[in-house]
A and B are shown apart, each in its own frame.
Chain A
C-alpha cells in the first residue's frame, strides 16, 4: 500500500515546480477563518512582482516568479510549504503568520534563507545580533503597543494616569506578544491594564464584551486577526462602546473588518506602519500593466485595500532588498544568502519611494546588522463609514524605544543562551 503511494508521489514530484530566476515564494492563505486578511495581502504581494516583470522585465533584468503555497494559517501546512518551495531557490520567506514564523526562525537560519516578518512574528528578532536571518522592519508589535499608548498620551495631553485600558487579544503567540510591553508601559505611565483573551478563531466574544460593558474601560486596544476583528467591532457596536476609543493593531484595521458593522463602525481606529488608500502613482501602473492586462492575482478586486497595500509594501521592500543585494554582490542572479546581505544593507529613502511611485508610503529607514527591526514608527488611521475609506489621522511617530529596546535585549538574550547562538555582528 505504502509503496504504491510512494511510487505515485515519486512520479508526481518528478514534474516538480517550475524553476525561475528570482523566486519569492508566497506562503498565503486564501482559505479558512483568516482568509479575509490573507487574500488581499497575497494579491498585493503577487501583483507588485507581476508589475516588475511586466514593466521593468523583473529585478535587475532577471525575471521574478512567485510560487504560491496555501498554508491556511496552519503551521503543519506552513512547514510543508516551506520544504516544498525552498528547493526552488527561494530568496525570502514572508509567512504572514506568527505561528509559522516561530517554526521557521531556526529552520531558515539553518538553511541560510532570510525571512521577513513585517510587523508580526517574534518581536525580539529585531536584534539582528541573535536572529541573523530574521527581519521585521519597519516596525514590530512592541512598537505597535507603544505607538498605541503614545497616541493615547497625545490625545490626553500627556497624562493617562488612572485611565483604564483593556486589551482584547487573540489567545495565541500573536496576541500575547504585546502584553509584556504594555505591562512595562503600565508601570511607566500609570494606566490600568486589563487583559481579555479570545480563543481561536474568535467568533465567540460575548463574555469579553460583557466584561468590557461592566468594567467600562476608557480605551480598548485589540490584537485580532481574521474573523475575530469583525466580530469584535460588531460586539463593540452592540454594547455602544465609543468607536473612537477603540484602537486595533495594524492587523485589525482593514476594510473587511469594519464593513460588516456598517455605520456603527464609524470612527474606529487602527495603527499602521504604511500609508493607506490608492492615491499613489504606482496604482496607475498596476492598473495598466497588471489589472487591465488581466494578470491580477486572485479575483483582482482588492487593489488599494489596506492589506493589499501592505502586501505591495512587503513586495516593494523585498524587491529593493534584492536590488541592494545585486549591487553588493555584482551579480543579477542572487542567492538566498546574498539576499540576506541585501536585506541587512537595505536603505529606504523618500527619494527611492517617490521614484517607485510610492511617495510617503512608509517611513524612511536603514537596516543594520544590529537592528533588523527598523525605526518602529507608528501612525494611526481612522475609518470613515460614510465614504468607506481609511485615512491617516496621525503621522508616523517614534515609539518608546527605551522600554522596547530593553525588552528586546532581554528576550533575544534568553533565546541566544537557550540555543547557544553566538553573536553574528562584528
Chain B
C-alpha cells in the first residue's frame, strides 16, 4: 500500500539509479540515520555501548570490507583477523609515534596501511583460486599474528607484549582510553561506519564494482570483455583491506583499549567475520550490517534470556550458543544461501504487492 514504486516518478538517470528507489525506503533511511545520530547518543550508556553498539558498528565495517573481497570479487579470504591486527598495530604505532595528530587520521592511515599489506597478500590471487587462495590467506593470518607476537618493535618493547591505547581526543572529547563517555565512542565509530557504507555502496554500483562482479562470476569471460584481472583483484584487496584495517584500528583503540594479538585477532576472528557475511548475505551492503548485528546480538540475547531470565548455568548457555550458531550456519547454507539480505529482498518484493498480491 505504502511500499510501491507507482506514482514515484523519476525524471533523471541518477534518480532512476538511486540506492532506495522507493519513497518508503528513503524515508526509512533518513529516520534510521536521525535516530542513530540524534537519539541514541542521548540515551546510550556504558553497557549498551560496550556490549552491543561498539561491537556491532566495528564488526559491520569489517564485514563490509570482507564482503567486497568475498561477496563482490569472489576471492575467498581467511585472513581477516590478521588484517584487523595490522590495522590495530598500525594505529597503535601511529598513536604513540605521532601523539599530536588527531586519532581520526590515525585510524584512516591505519586503514591505508592495511590496504597495502592486503595487496601484498592478495598478489597470489592472480595465480591461485578458490580453496588454494583460502589457504594462502590463511597463511597471512598466521604469519601476521606471529609477526606481531615476535617483533617487539610493534608493541613498543612492552614486557607483556600487550598494546594499550593511550588517551586521545576529537574536538576535545575523549574517544580512547578509560575515561570516555559512551556517546562519544559510539558516535566516533558510527561516523566511520556510515562513511564506509557510503563509499562501499558507491564503489560497488560503479565501474569498480561491476569489474569485481564480472571477475567473481567468470574470470575468463571478464578478461575477454576487457576487465583487467590484475587491477580488479588488487583493487578489491586494497579496498577490502582498507575497511578491515579501519575496523581493526577501532576495535583496538576505541572498543577494547588493550589488545593481545593472538587472543584478539586469532583465526576465530577471521571465521567470525566470514560467518557474518555468509549469514548476512554475500555481495550485499545490507547483508554486512544484518550479519554483524545478528552475530553480535545473538550471544547477548541468549545470555540475557538463558542466564538472567531463566537462571540456567552459564556454561550450558555458552555451549547452547555454539550449537545454535553452528545450526544456523548450516540452516542458512541449505535454505537461504544468500543470507538475511535475500530474506529482506523477498520481503520487499512481497511488500510491494501487499495487500493485494494477485
Contact = CB atoms under 8 A, between A and B. Distances in A.
**A and B form one complex:** yes
Interface of A: 1-3, 5, 8-9, 12-13, 15-17, 28, 30-31, 35, 39, 68-70, 72, 74-77, 79-80, 83-84, 86-87, 98-99, 102-103, 105-107, 109-110, 122, 171-173, 176-177, 179-180, 197, 199-200, 298, 411, 418-420
Interface in B158-193: 159-162, 164, 166-167, 177-179
B27 interface: no
B297 A5 contact: yes
A419 B260 contact: no
B1 interface: no
B263 A172 contact: yes
8 contacts: A5-B297, A9-B301, A15-B309, A30-B314, A77-B299, A106-B177, A172-B263, A411-B159
Interface of B: 32, 35, 46-47, 50-52, 55, 149, 159-162, 164, 166-167, 177-179, 255-260, 262-264, 266, 289-290, 293, 297, 299-301, 303-305, 307-309, 313-315, 317-319, 340, 344
Nearest to B290: A1
A256 B107 CA distance: 45
Taking each of B51, B159, B266, which has the highest tally of chain A beta carbons within 10 Å of its own beta carbon?
Answer: B159
Contacts of A17: 308
B47 A102 contact: no
Residues of A contacting B: mostly: helix
Contacts of B319: 31
Contacts of B161: 172-173, 176
A179 B159 contact: yes
A83 B318 contact: no
A175 to B, nearest CB: 9
B50 A102 contact: no
Contacts of B340: 1
B344 A83 contact: no
Given A31-B319, A75-B264, A70 B314 contact: yes
Given A31-B319, A176-B161, 12 more contacts: A17-B308, A69-B307, A70-B314, A75-B264, A79-B256, A80-B51, A102-B260, A105-B258, A106-B177, A106-B178, A172-B161, A418-B166
Contacts of A77: 299
Contacts of B166: 418-419
A1 B160 contact: no
A30 B318 contact: yes
A84 B47 contact: yes
A79 B167 CA distance: 18
A13 B293 contact: no
Contacts of B315: 30-31, 35, 39, 70
Contacts of B293: 1-2, 5
Given A1-B290, A106-B177, A177 B317 contact: no
Contact of A31 (B32, B266, B318): B318
A89 to B, nearest CB: 14
A87 B317 contact: no
Contacts of A15: 308-309
Contacts of A79: 50-51, 255-256
Contacts of A72: 318
A36 to B, nearest CB: 12
Contacts of A418: 164, 166
A9 B167 CA distance: 31
A101 B244 CA distance: 27
Contacts of A173: 160-162, 260
B54 to A, nearest CB: 9
